Amino acid sequence: MSHAQTLFITGRAEITGDAAETDHVATAAGNRWPEALQVAFDLLPDPVFRLAGDELTFGDANRAACELFGYSREELRGMAMSQVCHLSLLADRGRILDGKEDGTVGGVYHTIVQPKVGAVVVAQCRFTPIPARDGGGWLVVAGESSTAYTRGLGLPGHDPLTCLPDRRLFHRLLERTLQRSRWRGDYLFGVCFIDLDGFKSTNDRFGHLIGDRVLCEIARRLVGCVRAGDMAARFGGDEFTVLIDDVQDSRGAESAGQRILEQIRRPVVLDDLSVRLSASVGLAVGPGEHRRAEDMLREADRAMYRVKSRGGDAVGFFDGGPSRRSAEPQ
């Protein structure tokens, strides 16, 4: 069969064969598929969507995908996948894109979907590359993850409470980012270390169940306020970290830190309770002289403690020194 084929196997949809020709798969604008093909994809029981570009932005999606993510087709178009999924997949996203360059054939990646409304969903996504002659990008079929994941064991490398990447996964991604900085002489990035001010008193006053719900809401806000290329993680307890990818200078990292602090300051409303928090936010910009992930984390951690020693509820660098991209070509 020379065109895209849809096979139904025990109620599941699988996309096989070569992609259809360009005018049968997508229009030039927005990587959308035409109306006739949209009807066919809408009949599939599985969520199917098309992603484009290095940020893995949605080009189009079928009805099941819209139901999974809680967004209309129009809302999804142009959104980055990381806006609706916890992509350990920033690590995995790098592997997907690297595989594309190497000519490998996609793969299956586990992720956690954060719908527009409702609880998170553990899912797996099968990525199939679309040839460049057909517009490029990825055709993705999503489905429920295995029972081992859906029984509360969580994804490897993820915090079981908040579903954010955990300390170890964040550390691995930071090491990867440091390696990238060695290849690109003009590449700067930021590490944000966040400690919630007064969280212990919230736990003591309202109990650990409320405290856990507060942590989950803060995690959701962090995911919502960072860019597609950034990554938020739970470092442990009431501490979070954020990798701020590809900044121009220290002001860019500081701006991201301020956005994060503003989100944390918003009241957390749980049933009839309203909980107010602030945070001490420490920043480090690299690579600078840093050669290890531990060095970057240590500097951001020291910056956080410096902010906390001055009363918290602020963003700061450890030494306050400016960091800028080199103006000279490397």
Confidence of residue 327 (pLDDT cuts 50, 70, 90): very low
- Domains of the chain, residue spans: 5-153, 167-317
* CATH architecture assignment, domain 167-317: 2-Layer Sandwich (3.30)
Confidence of residue 319 (pLDDT cuts 50, 70, 90): low
pLDDT tens sequence across 19-50: 333 333 333 334 555 566 667 777 888 899 99
d(C-alpha 149, C-alpha 66), whole Å: 23
Report the pLDDT value the prediction gives residue 105, as an integer from 0 to 100.
54
Q: How many CA atoms lie within 13 A of 156 on its CB side?
A: 7
Report the chain's mean pLDDT, rounded to a whole number: 77
Report the pLDDT value the prediction gives residue 5, as an integer from 0 to 100.
32
The one-letter amino acid at 3: H
Q: pTM of the entire structure?
A: 0.58
Report the pLDDT value the prediction gives residue 316, as an integer from 0 to 100.
94
Instruction: Confirm if 14 and 141 have CB atoms less than 8 A apart.
Output: yes
Q: Which of 17-31, 105-119, 289-303 is predicted most confidently?
A: 289-303
* CATH architecture assignment, domain 5-153: 2-Layer Sandwich (3.30)
Report the pLDDT value the prediction gives residue 236, as an integer from 0 to 100.
92
d(C-alpha 223, C-alpha 230), whole Å: 9
d(C-alpha 180, C-alpha 145), whole Å: 31
Report the pLDDT value the prediction gives residue 132, as an integer from 0 to 100.
79
Better-predicted residue by pLDDT, 24 or 231: 231
pLDDT tens sequence across 144-179: 765 444 444 455 677 878 878 889 889 988 888 888
Q: Given a cut of 70, is residue 281 above it in pLDDT?
A: yes
Sign for the CA dihedral angle at 130, 136, 142, 145 comes to: positive
Report the pLDDT value the prediction gives residue 147, as an integer from 0 to 100.
41
Mean of pLDDT values over 300-316: 94
Instruction: Report whether the peptide linkage leading into residue 287 is cis, meaning its omega lies within 30 degrees of zero.
Output: yes
Report the pLDDT value the prediction gives residue 199, as an integer from 0 to 100.
93
DSSP letters along 150-177, please?
Answer: IIII--TTB-TTT-SB-HHHHHHHHHHH
Q: Given a cut of 90, is residue 258 above it in pLDDT?
A: yes
Report the pLDDT value the prediction gives residue 164, as an integer from 0 to 100.
83
State whether residue 15 is helix, strand or coil: strand
Q: Given a cut of 60, is residue 227 above it in pLDDT?
A: yes
Report the pLDDT value the prediction gives residue 35, as an integer from 0 to 100.
63
